[in-house]
């Protein structure tokens, strides 16, 4: 069921990971000392990509689901 919800059962080949993708560059720039360096162009690029590229899927975080009562909180990590 989980694989079906994520469309992991699709017969199409998975999309290749693009190392130049804005979201990936943003995540790679995260450090222990701060979320990202102030001089990082990755933030600007990420915001531009979020504005221009289509959104495929979005969901609440586990915390938001718990607050909405839509989470099976008996399973903890």
- Average pLDDT rounded to a whole number, residues 56-62: 79
Indicate whether this model's pTM tops 0.75: no
pLDDT for residue 21 is more than 80: yes
Instruction: Determine the pLDDT at residue 51.
Output: 92
Which tens digit of pLDDT belongs to each residue from 5-16?
555 555 665 667
Instruction: Determine the pLDDT at residue 1.
Output: 45
Instruction: Determine the pLDDT at residue 4.
Output: 52
- Alpha helices (H) in the chain, listed in sequence order: 2-5, 22-28, 41-52, 62-68
Q: Which of 52, 49, 53, 27 is nearest to 40 (CA)?
A: 27
What's the CA gap between 66 and 72, in Å, rounded? Answer: 8
């Amino acid at each position: 069921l989980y694989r079906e919800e994520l469309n992991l059962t699709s017969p199409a080949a998975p999309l290749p990971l693009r190392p130049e993708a804005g979201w990936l560059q943003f995540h790679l720039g995260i450090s222990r000392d701060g979320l990202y360096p102030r001089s990082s162009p990755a933030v600007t690029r990420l915001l531009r990509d979020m504005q221009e590229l289509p959104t495929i899927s979005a969901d609440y975080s586990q915390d938001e689901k718990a607050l909405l009562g839509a989470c099976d909180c008996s399973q903890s990590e």
